[in-house]
Amino acid sequence: MPIQWFPGHMTQARKQAAEAMASTDVVIEVLDARLPEASSNPMIHALRRHRSRPCLKLLNKSDLADPVITQAWLDHFAALPGTAAVALSCRKPAEVARVTKLAQALAPHRDDNLKPLRMMVMGIPNVGKSTLINALLRRRTAKVGDEPAVTKVTHRYDLSPRMFLIDTPGLMWPKIEHDSDGYMLAASHAIGRNAVIDEEVATYLADLLLARYPALLAARYKCDVAGMDGVALIEAIARGRGYRGKGGVADLEKASLTLLQDYRDGVLGRISLETPESRRAMLQSASIADTPQAAAD
């Protein structure tokens, strides 16, 4: 089932972001390092391209992501015009301290009291924007929560007389074009639970992890995963943890939530859900599927 999630307040959030973009020098886009492209909102690209604003891409939660794949993403983004990228954890102040210098390098002409550097923090819900801002301010100011869409209005924060930043609400886009993006976003808790079926999301995640990180699954759940598909893994988790419902039937919902939470918390190990190569292959496959001949077939 395709996943879509666009709460009503996000229409207003997009309008506010478009207005603020006119007086912004650098866009700081916070991404999930485990799914950098799937967690990148195409509306943010459109807004900043309209104003020709450079972008600093922050691959947050890099401590949870596969480091080899994260480096591949950094190389990918570094090759894009008007773009810089860095991998970090917004929970680590020493890493966050690098952000303003990297943003300044994208707008060197804005570096004094008369022309302060104007940065706008953007990204999808629950990706770490508020955590980043609190680390930059060195105090808890922006509201942080474990549920998507905690921030709902735009705020301005002065870092010094020479720079300030604008925090925008987490912004989704009206239609998630690729089903796999929806499942990756849901697995990473960027989409409200009211829009998803946990067992379906967990099955997608299990299939993906079985293909790429079977050893991590075997170590965590103490089972032989050879030949398993996603459903079989969830059933194995239910058996191994003793999750039973009425009549002794395996509680697959509870097992699904266990897998999802283990992934989100990083207890499975350092995992990335997409690579630059897998992204290109997915887009190519989607393009072929959309051709008139494919549709006729």
Cβ atoms within 10 A of the Cβ of 3, count? 20
What pLDDT shows up at residue 202?
98
Sign of the alpha-carbon torsion through 58, 63, 64, 70: positive
State the average pLDDT over residues 91-97.
94
Q: Element (H or E) spanning 16, and its range? A: helix 9-21
β-strand partners of 258: none
What pLDDT shows up at residue 148?
46
SS3 110: coil
Stated pTM of the model:
0.89
Contact (CB, 8 A) for 113 and 161: yes
Q: Does the pLDDT at position 246 exceed 90?
A: no
pLDDT tens-digit readout, 105-119:
999 999 888 899 999
Which of 65-79, 157-171, 212-226 has the least mean pLDDT? 157-171
Q: How many angstroms separate the CA atoms of 229 and 194, rounded?
A: 26
What pLDDT shows up at residue 265?
96
What pLDDT shows up at residue 13?
77
Residues 6+ apart with CB under 8 A from 279: 37
Domains of the chain plus CATH, in order, are: 10-167 (3.40.50.300), 197-280 (1.10.1580.10)
Residue 141 identity (one-letter amino acid): T
What pLDDT shows up at residue 2?
67
What pLDDT shows up at residue 144?
55
Q: How many angstroms separate the CA atoms of 78 and 56, rounded?
A: 10
Give the residue carrying structure tokens 């900043």.
48
What pLDDT shows up at residue 3?
79
**Rounded to 5°, angle at Cα 226 from 186 and 35:** 25
State the average pLDDT over residues 14-29.
90
Structure tokens at 146: 């474990």
Cβ atoms within 10 A of the Cβ of 152, count? 13
CA distances to 74, 180, 241 from 223, in Å: 35, 27, 11
Give the residue carrying structure tokens 């089932």.
1
CA distances to 23, 125, 141, 185 from 26, in Å: 10, 20, 22, 25
Q: For the chain, what is the mean pLDDT?
A: 90
pLDDT tens-digit readout, 153-169:
688 999 999 999 999 88
Q: Does the pLDDT at position 248 exceed 50?
A: yes
Contact (CB, 8 A) for 64 and 33: yes
Sign of the alpha-carbon torsion through 208, 213, 218, 221: negative
What pLDDT shows up at residue 108?
93
Task: Specify binding-site residues for GTP.
Answer: 60-63, 126-131, 170
Which of 145-159, 193-207, 262-276 has the least mean pLDDT? 145-159
Q: Does the pLDDT at position 40 exceed 60?
A: yes
What pLDDT shows up at residue 8?
61
Task: Specify binding-site residues.
Answer: 60-63, 126-131, 170
pLDDT band at residue 139 under the 50/70/90 scheme: confident
Contact (CB, 8 A) for 199 and 235: no
